[in-house]
Structure 1
Amino acid sequence: MGVVENHLEIVSCLPPEKIFKAFVLEADFLLPKIVPHIFESCDVLEGDGGPGTLKKITFAEGSKFKHAKHRVDLIDKEKFIYHYTWVEGELLSLHHYEKISYEVKIECGPDGGSIFKNNTKYHTRGDIHIAEEELKEDNEKIFGLFKAIEGHVLAHPESYY
């Protein structure tokens, strides 16, 4: 098994607590609402949202993938840290991944904003090479989701006081 890492940083005008609330704590509700062309639903299969929680993500009709299962590995609401692992779904078998782990940390940024840091670890079966273009595309998808959530928070400040 090999591990390929991919890093992404995004600067936001929003403070860490608002981004964490929307991107982590409310993502299961928000994503199907604000990007329904990507996500149909996000459902908790077992657990209370903390470590060990298993979630099923159902993608919108027409997507390349039908579903994914994510496991929450760590959530720290005070330090704005969230780790989760994609443990099941078509993407894993299609690309010969054993799993994909995400480590999200949101830090204080300039002028009261924040810096969203994402470290993705692709755990491959065998010695599989991941093209640089694929890593770039994955970062673009994360960036797009982040900006959609950021836009939602900016449009609904009353929900994120």
Structure 2
Amino acid sequence: MVAGSVVEECKSTVALGRLWKAGILDVHNLMPRLAPEHISSVEIGGGDGGVGTIKKFNFTDAVKLPANFVKDRVDVLDNEKHVFKYSVVEGGLLGVRLKSYSFDHKFEAASDGSTVGKVILEYETLDDTDLSEEEKGLLMGAVLGMMKAVEGFLLANPDAYA
């Protein structure tokens, strides 16, 4: 088994509060609308949105993963520090290529009113080979792509999540 991590930093011109509300707290409602070509639906399998909540993201045939869904469990949701962490508990590359993987999002307001974010992917492979750059890109690209879709929506709809 190989344990590893990938860190990506990103910046958005959208204010922290709006990005947090839309991209973290309401992402399950937004993503099927913003990316219907990739996400057909999102189901809440228990919980109130906080720690312990299970969210199942169902993919369309356009998403080329071994499973046609990813089921996440919310591990940390800190609305004051703007920290969100979740673990994949079923689907995606779990059980196929990875023993475990999780994502940690941390957001801060910049002095100019924009938002600076950091996304950390932590994983453990099933075998003794590390993830390829393509596999890392697939996992991080999906998460960062969702955030970019939310940012685009918020920029186009300045009154949304205000």
Task: Note the residue ranges of structure 1 that are not aligned, 5 or more in a row.
Answer: none
1:11 counterpart letter in structure 2 = K
Structure 1 CA distance, aligned partners of 2:39 and 2:31? 6
Kindly state the Cα deviation for residue 155 of structure 1 after the two structures are TM-superposed: 1.2
Partners of 1:59 and 1:109 in 2: how far apart?
Answer: 34
Q: Evaluate the alpha carbon distance shift between residue 13 and residue 53 of structure 1 in structure 2; reply closer, same or farther with a 3 A threshold.
A: same
> How far, CA to CA, are the matches of 1:130 and 1:10 in structure 2?
22
Which residue does 1:45 correspond to in 2?
45
Q: Under a length normalisation based on structure 1, what TM-score does the superposition of the two structures give?
A: 0.91
TM-score normalised by structure 2 residue count: 0.91
In structure 1, which of residues 80, 83, 88 is the aligned counterpart of residue 82 of structure 2? 80
Q: What is the aligned-residue RMSD (CA, Å)?
A: 1.6
1:158 Cα shift?
A: 1.3
Structure 2 gaps, min length 5: none
Work out the number of aligned pairs and report it.
Answer: 160
Which residue, 66, 69, 73 being the options, matches 2:68?
66
Q: Percent identity?
A: 34
Equivalent in the alignment of 1:111: 112
Describe the SS at the equivalent of 1:94: coil
Aligned to 1:92: 94
Structure 1 residues 137 and 90, CA gap change in structure 2 (3 angstroms) = closer
Report the counterpart of residue 27 of structure 2 in structure 1: 27
Q: Would the alpha carbon gap of residues 80 and 87 (structure 1) be closer, same or farther in structure 2, given more than 3 Å must change? A: same
Distance 1:127 1:142 in 2: 25
Q: Is the 8 A contact 2:125 2:131 kept in 1?
A: no
Aligned counterpart, 1:4: 4
CA shift for structure 1 position 35: 0.4
3-state DSSP of counterpart to 1:112: coil
Q: Distance in 1 between matches of 2:62 and 2:27?
A: 21
| Letter of the 2:81 counterpart | K
